[in-house]
Amino acid sequence: MHCPVNRTTVKVAVAALSALVATGLAAGCTTGGGGGGGSAARPGPDWTAASTPAPSARENGAGAGTGGGEAGPPDAAQRAAAYRKWGLEPLPAPPAAPAVKPVRTVRTGAERVPVISDVPTKDKVVFLTIDDGAEKDPKFAEMMRDLDVPFTMFLTDSAIRADYGYFKPLAALGNGVANHTLTHPNLRTLGAGEQEREICGQQRRLRETYGTAPRLFRPPYGNWNEDTRAAAGRCGVDAIVLWRESMQITDMQYQRGDRKLHPGDIVLAHFRGPADLKGTSMTEMTANLLRRVQEQGFTVARLEDYV
Q: Which of residues 198-227 bind Zn ion (CB under 5 A)?
A: 220
Instruction: Report, in Å, the least distance between residue 291 CB and Zn ion.
Output: 24
**Residue 123 or residue 132: which is nearer to Zn ion going by CB?**
132
Q: How many residues bind Zn ion (CB under 5 A)?
A: 3
**Residue 131 or residue 284: which is nearer to Zn ion going by CB?**
131
**Residue 25 or residue 241: which is nearer to Zn ion going by CB?**
241
**Residue 83 or residue 217: which is nearer to Zn ion going by CB?**
217
Closest CA relative to residue 123, chosen from 149, 108, 153, 102: 102
**Residue 215 or residue 272: which is nearer to Zn ion going by CB?**
272
Instruction: Report, in Å, the least distance between residue 219 CB and Zn ion.
Output: 9
Instruction: Report, in Å, the least distance between residue 221 CB and Zn ion.
Output: 7
Instruction: Report, in Å, the least distance between residue 220 CB and Zn ion.
Output: 5
Cα–Cα distance between 181 and 218 in angstroms, integer? Answer: 8
Q: Which of residues 100-159 bind Zn ion (CB under 5 A)?
A: 131-132
State the SS3 of the chain.
CCCCCCCCCCCCCCCCHHHHHHHCHHHHCCCCCCCCCCHHHCCCCHHHHCCCCCCHHHHHCCCCCCCCCCCCCCCHHHHHHHHHHCCCCCCCCCCCCCCCCCCCCCCCCCCCCCEECECCCCCCEEEEEEEECCCCCHHHHHHHHHHCCCCEEEECHHHHHHHHHHHHHHHHCCCEEEECCCCCCCHHHCCHHHHHHHHHHHHHHHHHHHCCCCCEECCHHHCCCHHHHHHHHHCCCCEEECCCEEECCCCEEECCCCCCCCCCEEEEEECCCCCCCCCCCHHHHHHHHHHHHHHCCCEEECHHHHC
Write the interaction track for Zn ion spanning residues 172-191; mark x where CB under 5 A is met and - where it is not.
--------------------
Cα–Cα distance between 158 and 208 in angstroms, integer? Answer: 16
**Residue 176 or residue 220: which is nearer to Zn ion going by CB?**
220
Instruction: Report, in Å, the least distance between residue 181 CB and Zn ion.
Output: 8
Instruction: Report, in Å, the least distance between residue 185 CB and Zn ion.
Output: 10
Identify whether the C-beta of residue 195 lies closer than 8 Å to the C-beta of residue 203.
no
Instruction: Report, in Å, the least distance between residue 73 CB and Zn ion.
Output: 33
**Residue 101 or residue 184: which is nearer to Zn ion going by CB?**
184
What is the CB neighbour count within 10 angstroms for residue 29?
18
Instruction: Report, in Å, the least distance between residue 134 CB and Zn ion.
Output: 9
What is the CB neighbour count within 10 angstroms for residue 153?
23
Write the interaction track for Zn ion spanning residues 36-55; mark x where CB under 5 A is met and - where it is not.
--------------------
**Residue 218 or residue 229: which is nearer to Zn ion going by CB?**
218
**Residue 74 or residue 133: which is nearer to Zn ion going by CB?**
133
Instruction: Report, in Å, the least distance between residue 131 CB and Zn ion.
Output: 4
Q: Which residues contact Zn ion by CB under 5 A?
A: 131-132, 220
